[in-house]
Structure 1
Amino acid sequence: MQNQSLLTLKQQLATAIRMLEKEQHIDFNGHFSVRVPETEYIFINAAAASRKTVTEYDIITIDLNGEIIEGNGTPPNEYPLHTEIYKRRNDIQAIVHTHPRWSTLFTIANVPLRPVIIQGAVLGEIPVFPKSQSISSTDIANELTDQLSEHQVILLKAHGAVVTGDNIMETFVRSIFLEENACRQYMASQMGDAHSLDEEEVRSTKEFIWQKKNIQKVWDYYVSNLSTI
Structure 2
Amino acid sequence: MPDSDTPVTKVSQVSPDLIRKYIDGCHILHYYDLVDAYGHLSVRLSPSTFLMSRYMAPALVAWPEDLVVYKVEDGEPVDPNAPRGFSERFIHSEIYKAYPDVHATVHSHSLTVIPFSISSQPLSACFHMAGFLGCRVPVWDMDTVYTDDDHRSMLVSSTRFGMSLAQALGGAGEGGRGEPRYPVVLMRGHGMVVTADRIEMVVLRSIYTAQNARVQQSAIGLGGAVKLFTEKEARDTGGTTAQGAVKPWPLWKREVENSTLYQNLA
Structure-2-length-normalised TM-score: 0.78
- Structure 1 window deviating more from structure 2 (21-30 vs 158-167): it is 21-30
Name stretches of at least 5 consecutive residues in structure 2 with no aligned partner: 144-153, 171-179
**Residue 129 of structure 1: how far off its partner (Å):** 0.3
Name stretches of at least 5 consecutive residues in structure 1 with no aligned partner: none
* Contact map agreement 2:201 2:242 (CA 8 A) in 1: no
**Residue 4 of structure 1: how far off its partner (Å):** 7.8
Aligned to 2:93: 83
Asked if 1:61 is matched to 2:69, the reply is: yes
**Residue 26 of structure 1: how far off its partner (Å):** 0.8
CA distance in 1, matches of 2:14, 2:157: 30
Aligned to 2:228: 196
Asked if 1:154 is matched to 2:163, the reply is: no
* Contact map agreement 2:133 2:234 (CA 8 A) in 1: no
In the superposition, relative to structure 1, how do residues 5 and 131 fare at CA in structure 2: closer, same or farther (>3 Å)?
closer
Q: Deviations over 1:149-188 (max 9, x none)?
A: 2221100001001000001111110111100100000011
Q: Deviations over 1:65-103 (max 9, x none)?
A: 233235852221001111111111111111110111111
Asked if 1:44 is matched to 2:52, the reply is: yes
Secondary structure in 1 aligned to 2:189? Answer: coil
Query: Larger % of helix: which?
Result: 1
Letter in 2 for 1:36: L
CA distance in 2, matches of 1:135, 1:4: 29
Equivalent of 2:241, from 189, 209, 212? 209
* Contact map agreement 2:130 2:237 (CA 8 A) in 1: no
CA distance in 2, matches of 1:210, 1:26: 23
* Contact map agreement 1:84 1:138 (CA 8 A) in 2: yes
CA RMSD of aligned residues (A): 2.0
In the superposition, relative to structure 1, how do residues 195 and 139 fare at CA in structure 2: closer, same or farther (>3 Å)?
same
CA distance in 1, matches of 2:82, 2:63: 11
Q: Deviations over 1:208-228 (max 9, x none)?
A: 2220xx211122221121125
In the superposition, relative to structure 1, how do residues 126 and 171 fare at CA in structure 2: closer, same or farther (>3 Å)?
same
Structure-1-length-normalised TM-score: 0.90
